[in-house]
Structure 1
């Protein structure tokens, strides 16, 4: 069994389809299918079971998976040594992050890391959901709560704060807000309740605000509603410098949350990813502190 066969096997196992694996490897799906069939024939075992839902690992395939992932790490480590990654970060790294972090923190933090490492390519995947690192949807992910299951390493990045806010023009045109009960007289902006993918994002529930006439699963959409005077909502303090139209209200109702860096456990042996994680953590902490001080 050679590395090319294992690479195809890993791609199908993670994508659970020939088309997904082909797209990831830039190989025609029919070619992927033929080579998987050839691999199964050579091993004398079925590695995948096919169904309308896609390709699922068989028991034999699951046993090979860990070996294939170790081979992937070995190849990655050897490639890094040959390319001299000790002199700088190179190659492609994909990081998944929630909407607020991806929009208001990561662009400037990662731009500075890339400026210092010209050979580095970074992809930010901003999706309102939890990332599956076992399927290699990303090399690492930032989350708002610490996972309790899976073969993962977890590192706390930083705490951050959120505040109730509204546009100054909105506040001037509506009844004053001096106590929590006053919020009942205002239109609330927040998340779509059944699309909150992490309990830590249920800000309004914690504040006792159940009616949300204007809702979106996107932090950016919520922020733009607030900027245009549509109502009152919760805003990341690190995002407020980008929206000078907003004023903080009821400061005693300030919330605190945390960002966590999540990685696949096996990646702890990849020096390049370790260095990137260290630089990311340092940069993110500094940026949150800088923006919250300016808010």
Structure 2
């Protein structure tokens, strides 16, 4: 067993009772993910003073500062960043224990509403769903792929796969993968030269924050793009039609038969699993969450290279 604190005690053990204190781990992860005591306290539904004490207790046990306290919020130290993955492993183990219950023979049943993007649903999740449903025939999945972002806090969905880090709402989340991007053309060009005559297809102004938006703007140098779009499907169709180059996820662009001009652009997007906080211990929700983590993990090479 790998020990984590200076006294060779498992993470995290109270000095008097020698009892596992899960709340301190939860406090650490909530602050690490949300960046402020206020947001983390709201998520965990505890007072700010209580949350602060739990973080300090964990720091004292490990003998290292986990956060830099700034006026704008809490920033992870090097020790804190190194602890996140270990803490998430403990989190998953606890969730698995709580969701398993004492009666193993109890059938997992009911409905789980999952929100995600249409491309992830069609290309990654749906092909893996038949095997999952054969194991859990009484568990029904409601798939939401609307372009409008589902609001978990408003109970539009029970859990979601998102490409944007949640900043509000009563949810718990963690990164489970990453999506990498390349520069694509509709023609068979492997080394297209980019110059002032190069045409680009890019996101409409309201979506310029999406991956590739800033990169394309730098290449345009004040020029207008040949076309702006508001959907990924339109961007792919425009690139196929030869209207310009576009920055696209590898696994989607290659599936569409586009030609990769630049594969290693250093542009990537995290993939987050987001769950309603009050459903985090639900057996049916945790079962679907575990399935999604496994599917994303198995397809990580496709997300990185499109192969």
Partners of 1:189 and 1:213 within 8 A in 2: yes
1:42-92 superposed Cα distances (whole Å, 9 cap, x missing partner): xxxxxxxxxxxxxxxxxxxxxxxx9xxxxxxxxxxxxx99xx886665332
Partners of 2:173 and 2:274 within 8 A in 1: yes
Residue of 236, 242, 246 corresponding to 1:233: 246
1:178-204 superposed Cα distances (whole Å, 9 cap, x missing partner): 3xx42x42331222222x2x83x1422
- 2:162 is the alignment partner of 1:149: no
Q: Secondary structure at the match of 2:298?
A: helix
- 2:295 is the alignment partner of 1:280: no
**Superposed CA RMSD:** 3.1
Correspondences of 1:212-227 after superposition (within 5 Å)? 212-227=225-240
1:293 Cα deviation after fit = 4.7
**Counterpart in the other structure of 1:185:** 197
Q: Secondary structure at the match of 2:113?
A: strand
Q: Secondary structure at the match of 2:299?
A: helix
Count the aligned residue pairs: 205
Partners of 1:164 and 1:254 within 8 A in 2: no
**Counterpart in the other structure of 1:251:** 263
- 2:276 is the alignment partner of 1:264: yes
> Separation in 2 of the partners of 1:209 and 1:94?
41
Correspondences of 1:37-48 after superposition (within 5 Å)? none
> Separation in 2 of the partners of 1:233 and 1:96?
26
- Report the TM-score when normalising by structure 2: 0.57
Unaligned runs of 5+ in 1: 1-65, 67-79
1:238-282 superposed Cα distances (whole Å, 9 cap, x missing partner): 2134223x1111334241111101111110121110111011111
Unaligned runs of 5+ in 2: 1-44, 46-98
> Separation in 2 of the partners of 1:156 and 1:132?
18
**Counterpart in the other structure of 1:109:** 128
Which of the pair is proportionally richer in helix?
1
